[in-house]
Structure 1
């Protein structure tokens, strides 16, 4: 094409021709570039990042009309949003088990909200209002190197609005179909050397309408949140930032217990869950000079889930002999329990002797129904301390290093027979070398030692070729791990059922015969990831484009469902994800913005559960328009071809009018959501009566 020209130079000339003269000139111009932080903890331009990034800015968040973070993440290519129920969203990158999203790290201003005890993120219960979010940075790929085990497949970093940018009063209410009833109120103020934002918010809705049998579905949610964010300027080069957050609410849960024994109705009460979360963080930052900065951050948080309900089964469920039989042979014990009126015989004399005693108990009142209180409450506590230093060694060499200590504790009489704790040390580093104006070499590693999971060392290496400062090619290889959580590895699961009526053998409390123990020796899941990509900003078109090709392999996967019935966890599973992703953000004119995301994912897994939440094709399209005179609109399409074998397609239209009244701003908005498919959402029981939903909001700022 260009005889005698080196290959790299040919690519540069081709890009210059495609992008126009302005793009070619950018090569030698020191322009102000947008920066992201989440990828390596270093501030970098999107073209220089060793991986794929998606940034959801405040304008996009506001225009979407989304009420919670999972709905916002539909705008991220490759992100799979599913629902176990209306108040139980699951978010996975590329795919995983439908019921348990275990492999993604989620941060709020650097504080992890990933629960170590039960390996999950309670998306409905995150103690943060959408209105307090400034932007969301999503690193699409493994990032154990920067954030430790559990950042296996992606990192979602939610960054809140700075108190200095939140002065004044904001009031907002939202009402809509399906029981939508939200509110938000915030007050921001500043003083010499400091700023503050205080907000209160609430969210509630009724979830899905009917299950697959046409019955009312108990999955509503109600929650109230409190957030306080304060920033102090201690000196020209020092700041102190601290936050407090709290959330209280309830999530409905239907009664789902199925009695083991025949001829028992099994009627009981609903298993609603009360959730209380508390968190606090403190960060001291110091800039020694433009080339050297340091911060120290400490945080504490508690996740409290209270779940007590009344369940019914046969008196025989509390038989010590049946408990002993379960401990010796769970498979045989289950067959005996399910056929208690005529249990199968065993050739083992010990098992046969227990079988005979159980049969006698059944014949002498063991079939009588008894009810009691089941307590499945949990409390998880975390303390975290981190030190990070960023140093520019030369004009072309930057070094980031840090140390982290984390203490996790889980309290549950049901799941852990008391308390279980873990201590984790992390040492991490990232080196960036700009060899010349085009080439960037980056490497990083995380050493981690966990009391329960052992040690791991995860590396990442990347090469970026900057065609211009705003356009770059990348090649990335990284490794990552996910530690088995306390439940998977160390569960000690048994039920003490209290307040039995009628009393069993004169006892007020009883031990349910099924007992589950974790293996205690599970290894970490391991991932190897390869990525080729391109990121570019075409200044003459005001167009951002990112393209990614990926091939990821996970070995040692723990895929067994978490259930108290012969739960046998292992590292025997594998998965492979390959495909491509594209995202485009194009400001067509000063009034129009077009945003497109698309992902093709070819997923394979040895366990079918690990590929059910992987759509081959998924994506979104959004058109934001400012019509002038205070009118604006946003039209979004979301779709995927199969999540758990169900297609999902939806169109959202938001229309808003902003008014100026005596120095105040009022925005009135309506959001219409229309389902284009007629299928359940993720699982069979998630059904709406209507394929559309209307909500309206009013927001006042002064």
Structure 2
């Protein structure tokens, strides 16, 4: 295993810190309470004791960033690659992967997964959660199948919302700005003897990118409205009940990308817009048997509804039964015939040529006529999830967290599944922490999972932490993780039924397009093996937190083929390797100043070039937060990477705010300026803005 010379930068930073005046002495100062994180192992642990790398984005940082959605906020996480696919649709990858298909991270809201198993995706722009309701985000940077099951292959993003008990009163906020920015938020919180509740309503709207590579207007605006209800109840001195409900409706413009297969046909459609509705609810029962033993039971239900109907035109020959038969026999040969319908037939078997001759005759006998019809590409997904977790301190030095989870997923789509498809998954997990003495912590965990469509798997993790002091720790971690092939990848039954054909094709008004795709049905799980060396420390005198990481990750059995209905053949034939280093530093220079720096060097190799396009060799962020007094504050952030899909990205964000107070009422007025320092597209060639800067203003009232 080799990390390369660039990977030594975090070690040089650590050496410099320890040799700084006052820093070495501070290693042995421990007079403050230790902070706690939860996402890594499901046990509350100090950052120095975590078996892996963690990034915590707190409420102060979230507000100061001015981020309007979660992907923009995740630019503050080292190694996180933020890109945009076709149109205004963000993708988030840790270390890298295919630019259009971010499907190797687990994303949770208060422990409820929002990863859509049917179509292998996270709808980042459609997550039904307002930024104003987020208390903190904990990001575990590395595989964590052990704690969160398959799909936590490369990282876990756990979004934790504000407690209703901390949300009493009224909060109103509006944001207006260039590029059609039009956001609003309203919440009301109240409490009673034994309970608290918060109701939030919010909306977001913008125009997205301005133009494509040819200077044409880009159809990619987005609009959504959200509702969130959160409540907590005290049932007894040792029991509580928490429940949540959320709903979202919105629409996303989508650029029209269909290109007719046959010559002389003009595309008549102008959009493939999508209307979305989401619903989610969860209920959690917490029981504390005693200070050393607790248990919770959580159940949740979610429904995603995506309505997408668009109009397309092609030749009537697209619906030929003979061409359909030829496609099933040999897709490559059928595509050659279709795209060169007036040319001499290519060489093929006697059966292929006989069908091709019939197809050419049909072209001459009316098959060349242009027909147009409606395509329904709508999808619906439903999930039910039940989880039980037990946390037990067996002794002063031994803690165990264990649990079980059952999940049911169902996907409905006439286009993708020719109806519906469902899956059920059982999971057992456990993690044991043993403090051998005041310095050494040994940790081990495992997850066993069995899914009806993809089979079973067992993944382990072992870690050794050496605590120099309770605030400074070295770690060595080995873990394995898996990602199950999703319904779309493994079991797709993809065909387009076109309705309302004008004029009809072969005497039919409703017919199926000749291209049909079937999933292999026997895909195996992707498997990752990860090695990590790291350091986490907090220098109390300087109020400085540091985390350093060296990593070497290997993924085998990788499913990398693009998800498209054109000779789509999914397989486990690909692999990838990611090695490098990461560093993050959070320094409160004074009561008024906070400095935050992140850096990641990623050396990515993949057998499929698409899986290394969203891996920047060098990326990072720098932030300076300042309280100027008299209600004035500012935040300046720099984000940069050297190449995401071959395009450089550099941006400066400046937020200036003034807070006015009258008794229990406060008003914050803020201005936000984003300035691109480069003049390149964002991730892909079609994602372009007219101007390199965008300005917005917000007003927030609390009483």
Compute the TM-score of the two structures, normalised by the length of structure 2. Answer: 0.97
1:25 to partner: Cα distance: 3.5
2:326 alignment partner in structure 1: 325
1:321 to partner: Cα distance: 0.5
* Closer, same or farther: CA 17–666 of 1 in aligned 2, 3 Å: closer
Once the two structures are superposed, residues 187-236 of structure 1 have per-residue CA deviations (whole angstroms, 9 ceiling, x without a partner) of: 00000000000000000000000100000000100000000000000011
Find the aligned partners of 1:547 and 1:14 in 2 and give their Cα distance: 13
Find the aligned partners of 1:192 and 1:477 in 2 and give their Cα distance: 48
Secondary structure of the structure 2 residue equivalent to 1:567? coil
1:661 to partner: Cα distance: 2.9
1:316 alignment partner in structure 2: 317
Please state if 1:661 is matched with 2:665: no
1:94 alignment partner in structure 2: 95
Q: Answer whether contact 2:336 2:346 (CA < 8 A) is retained.
A: no
Find the aligned partners of 2:344 and 2:490 in 1 and give their Cα distance: 33
Find the aligned partners of 2:85 and 2:275 in 1 and give their Cα distance: 18
1:504 to partner: Cα distance: 1.9
Select between 241-250 and 497-506 the one with higher mean Cα deviation. Answer: 497-506
2:124 alignment partner in structure 1: 123
Find the aligned partners of 1:25 and 1:542 in 2 and give their Cα distance: 12
CA RMSD of aligned residues (A): 1.3
1:253 alignment partner in structure 2: 254
Q: Answer whether contact 1:16 1:23 (CA < 8 A) is retained.
A: no
1:498 to partner: Cα distance: 0.4
1:355 to partner: Cα distance: 1.2
Find the aligned partners of 1:449 and 1:115 in 2 and give their Cα distance: 18
What number of residue pairs does the alignment pair up? 688
Find the aligned partners of 1:109 and 1:662 in 2 and give their Cα distance: 33
* Closer, same or farther: CA 343–238 of 1 in aligned 2, 3 Å: farther
Q: Answer whether contact 1:584 1:595 (CA < 8 A) is retained.
A: yes
1:263 to partner: Cα distance: 1.0
1:341 to partner: Cα distance: 2.0
1:6 alignment partner in structure 2: none
1:347 to partner: Cα distance: 4.5
Please state if 1:24 is matched with 2:28: yes
Find the aligned partners of 1:498 and 1:635 in 2 and give their Cα distance: 53
Secondary structure of the structure 2 residue equivalent to 1:634? strand
* Closer, same or farther: CA 347–665 of 1 in aligned 2, 3 Å: closer
1:7 alignment partner in structure 2: none
Find the aligned partners of 1:393 and 1:151 in 2 and give their Cα distance: 28
Find the aligned partners of 2:579 and 2:148 in 1 and give their Cα distance: 23
Once the two structures are superposed, residues 243-282 of structure 1 have per-residue CA deviations (whole angstroms, 9 ceiling, x without a partner) of: 0000000000121100111111122231000011100000
Q: Answer whether contact 2:145 2:152 (CA < 8 A) is retained.
A: yes
Q: Answer whether contact 1:343 1:359 (CA < 8 A) is retained.
A: no
Give the alignment of 1:260-659 within 5 angstroms. Answer: 260-659=261-660
2:193 alignment partner in structure 1: 192
1:352 to partner: Cα distance: 1.7
Q: Answer whether contact 1:337 1:343 (CA < 8 A) is retained.
A: no
Once the two structures are superposed, residues 483-529 of structure 1 have per-residue CA deviations (whole angstroms, 9 ceiling, x without a partner) of: 01000000000011001111223312011000000001111000000
Q: Answer whether contact 1:20 1:540 (CA < 8 A) is retained.
A: no
1:121 to partner: Cα distance: 0.3
Please state if 1:154 is matched with 2:158: no
2:12 alignment partner in structure 1: none
Structure 2 unpaired stretches of 5+: 1-14
Once the two structures are superposed, residues 421-440 of structure 1 have per-residue CA deviations (whole angstroms, 9 ceiling, x without a partner) of: 00000000000000000000
Give the alignment of 1:150-229 within 5 angstroms. Answer: 150-229=151-230
1:349 to partner: Cα distance: 2.2
Find the aligned partners of 1:192 and 1:152 in 2 and give their Cα distance: 43
1:19 to partner: Cα distance: 2.3
Secondary structure of the structure 2 residue equivalent to 1:24? coil
Once the two structures are superposed, residues 14-60 of structure 1 have per-residue CA deviations (whole angstroms, 9 ceiling, x without a partner) of: 7898624443142xx6x411000000000000000000000000000
Once the two structures are superposed, residues 309-332 of structure 1 have per-residue CA deviations (whole angstroms, 9 ceiling, x without a partner) of: 110000000000000000001111
Secondary structure of the structure 2 residue equivalent to 1:514? strand
Find the aligned partners of 2:18 and 2:508 in 1 and give their Cα distance: 83
Find the aligned partners of 1:22 and 1:680 in 2 and give their Cα distance: 46
* Closer, same or farther: CA 309–468 of 1 in aligned 2, 3 Å: same
Secondary structure of the structure 2 residue equivalent to 1:513? strand
Select between 400-409 and 659-668 the one with higher mean Cα deviation. Answer: 659-668
Secondary structure of the structure 2 residue equivalent to 1:337? helix
Secondary structure of the structure 2 residue equivalent to 1:415? helix
* Closer, same or farther: CA 347–456 of 1 in aligned 2, 3 Å: closer
2:39 alignment partner in structure 1: 38
Find the aligned partners of 1:296 and 1:272 in 2 and give their Cα distance: 39
1:85 to partner: Cα distance: 3.9
Q: Answer whether contact 1:145 1:480 (CA < 8 A) is retained.
A: yes
Q: Answer whether contact 2:316 2:506 (CA < 8 A) is retained.
A: no
Secondary structure of the structure 2 residue equivalent to 1:515? strand
1:343 to partner: Cα distance: 4.6
Find the aligned partners of 1:347 and 1:591 in 2 and give their Cα distance: 75
1:660 to partner: Cα distance: 1.1
Find the aligned partners of 2:201 and 2:530 in 1 and give their Cα distance: 41
Q: Which stretches of structure 1, 4 residues or longer, exceed 6 Å deviation after superposition?
A: 13-17
2:4 alignment partner in structure 1: none
1:682 alignment partner in structure 2: 683
Q: Answer whether contact 1:335 1:343 (CA < 8 A) is retained.
A: no
Q: Answer whether contact 2:574 2:608 (CA < 8 A) is retained.
A: yes
Q: Answer whether contact 2:87 2:255 (CA < 8 A) is retained.
A: no
1:87 to partner: Cα distance: 2.5
Secondary structure of the structure 1 residue equivalent to 2:515? coil
1:70 alignment partner in structure 2: 71
Compute the TM-score of the two structures, normalised by the length of structure 1. Answer: 0.97
